[in-house]
Amino acid sequence: MRRTALYSRSTSSRASPQGDAIAESTPVDPPQAAQAPSRRQRMVRALNHPRTLWLAIGVLGVLLALSFSTSLRNGPSQLTQDDINAAVMHTLTTRVLPSPAASAAATVAPSVVRVEGFVAGKKGKPDMEQGVGSGVVIIEDGTILTNLHVVQGAETLKVTFADGFESPATVINVQPENDLAVLRAQKIPDDLFPATMRSTSDLQPGDQVVAVGFPFSIGPSVSAGVVSGLGRGFRSPQGGQLMRNLIQFDAAANPGNSGGPLVTMDGQVVGIVTAILNPTSARTFIGIGFAVPIENAATAAGQPPF
């Protein structure tokens, strides 16, 4: 049975403050209520997190060592809370654990794809690459979110999955007002892992985020930073359509990152990277990037979440 898109409710009910927008922001339609993950599901996710696993291994090792040492000296004894606290502190100070950004990137990595567009070459010559961008799988049937400008003008498309599997792809829907395109891969790997999408309702400036994609065709590459603003507006220097209600972030993004996921520290997608702000003609990152909130992006795929 085909599994539908995966959604996760936000972890708190704090409101998102509205920053100074470049233009008036249009709020996203109020999200629809969805069943919150059960306590058991939350526990399973927490226990499956790589950081939790490494911490548990370290603590277990220290506890076993303490228990063995104590039993040799005094015979069998019961561990106290102080013993457990000491073991945790010992592990935190002596073991190098994966960073939150590394764990977030590892969680979403199986869902990130490389998107290439081609145009027909001159007679007798192979097709020419028109551009490279990024995308993220949101449904295990090969449904992928990316930017419209990544695929616009291309005559054929190819996606490369995280395991190297390649497939032709077609555009099945577009949302020009948010620079979004929905692709469907014609073939998919045996084990395809769609990303989990998370509501932006509790996102606020200062929250840590990770951007994953193929900047300058190099990747998958990972950059980390924070949300630096909400409710932003942006119009490209070429005079494109004004985009509203964007997430502003400072994780490095460059040409080729477009269409890739913006991810919170739990590895869940809150936005689709769509633009960078640079008042020069260099088209390189100077500290401000923008992402379309996942509520808009999922709606483009016919999967309105939350």
What residues make up the domain containing 251? 196-300
Query: What is the distance between the alpha carbons of residues 138 and 144, in angstroms, rounded to a whole number?
Result: 6
pLDDT at 137: 97
252: tokens are 């490095």
pTM for the whole structure: 0.72
Whether residues 200 and 263 share a domain: the answer is yes
Of 125, 160, 185, which residue constitutes the final position of a domain? 185
Q: What is the pLDDT of residue 85?
A: 84
DSSP state of 105: H
Beta strand 6-8 with 196-198: parallel, antiparallel or unpaired? parallel
Could you check whether the bond before residue 220 is cis, i.e. omega within 30 degrees of 0?
yes
Are 211 and 268 found together in one domain?
Answer: yes
The reported pLDDT for the residue numbered 301 is: 75
- Whether residue 282 is found in the same domain as residue 211: yes
For the record, the structure tokens of 60 come out as: 């277990």
Whether 284 and 223 share a structural domain:
yes
Among 128, 158, 185, identify where a domain stops.
185
Q: Are residues 295 and 203 in the same domain?
A: yes
pLDDT of residue 91: 77
Q: Is 13 exposed, middle or buried (0-12, 13-18, 19+ CB in 10 A)?
A: exposed
Residue 121 sits in the same domain as residue 155:
yes
Q: Does residue 305 belong to any structural domain of this protein? A: no
Residues in a beta bridge with 168: 158
Kindly state whether residue 136 falls inside one of the protein's structural domains.
yes
For residue 236, is it within any domain?
Answer: yes
Under 8 Å CB-to-CB from 90, ≥6 apart: which residues? 62
**Rounded-to-integer distance, Cα 247 and Cα 249, Å:** 6
Which active-site residues does the annotation give? 149, 179, 258
Query: Greatest CA separation found in the chain?
Result: 86
| Per-residue pLDDT, 296 | 86
Q: Please give the C-alpha separations between residue 185 and each of 128, 232, 279, in angstroms, as whole numbers.
A: 20, 32, 36
pLDDT at residue number 136: 97
* pLDDT at residue 235, as a whole number: 86
| Cβ 207 vs Cβ 233: under 8 Å | no
- Verify that 81 and 119 share a domain, yes or no: no
| DSSP structure class, residue 225 | E
- Residue 182: phi, psi to the nearest 5? -110, 125
Q: Are strands 128-139 and 143-147 parallel, antiparallel or unpaired?
A: antiparallel
Phi and psi of 154, rounded to 5°?
-80, 140
Cβ distance 247 to 234 under 8 Å?
Answer: no
CATH number, domain containing residue 258 = 2.40.10.10
Say how many CA atoms lie within 13 Å of 23 toward its Cβ.
9
Where a domain ends, among 121, 156, 185?
Answer: 185
Average pLDDT along the chain, 306 residues, taken 10 residues at a time: 56 42 35 45 54 64 62 62 82 81 96 96 82 95 95 96 97 93 96 93 96 96 97 80 93 96 97 91 90 87 64
What is the model's pLDDT at position 300?
78
**Is 245 inside any structural domain?**
yes
What CA–CA distance (Å, rounded) separates 46 from 34?
20
Q: Which two tokens stand for residue 1?
A: 């049975």
Looking at the domain assignment, is residue 263 inside a domain?
yes
The two structure tokens encoding residue 188: 């998919």
Do 201 and 296 lie in one domain? The reply is yes
Q: Are 273 and 261 in contact (CB under 8 A)?
A: yes
Asked if residue 289 lies in contact with residue 209, where contact means CB atoms within 8 angstroms, the answer is no
Give the integer Cα–Cα distance in Å for 122 and 3.
42
Which pLDDT belongs to residue 63? Answer: 63
Per the CB < 8 A criterion, the answer to whether 132 and 112 are in contact is no
Number of folded domains that form the chain: 3
- Residue listed under structure tokens 């795929």: 301
Question: 282 and 230: one domain?
Answer: yes
Both 205 and 295 in a single domain?
Answer: yes
Tokens, residue 231: 């409710």
pLDDT at 15: 40
Q: What is the pLDDT of residue 126?
A: 83
Residues 157 and 234 in one domain: no
Are 57 and 139 found together in one domain?
no
- Can you tell me the distance from the alpha carbon of 72 to that of 291, in angstroms, rounded to the nearest whole number? 59
Q: Which residue carries 């898109």 as its tokens?
A: 5
The answer to whether position 19 is within a domain reads no
Cβ count within 10 A of residue 151? 24
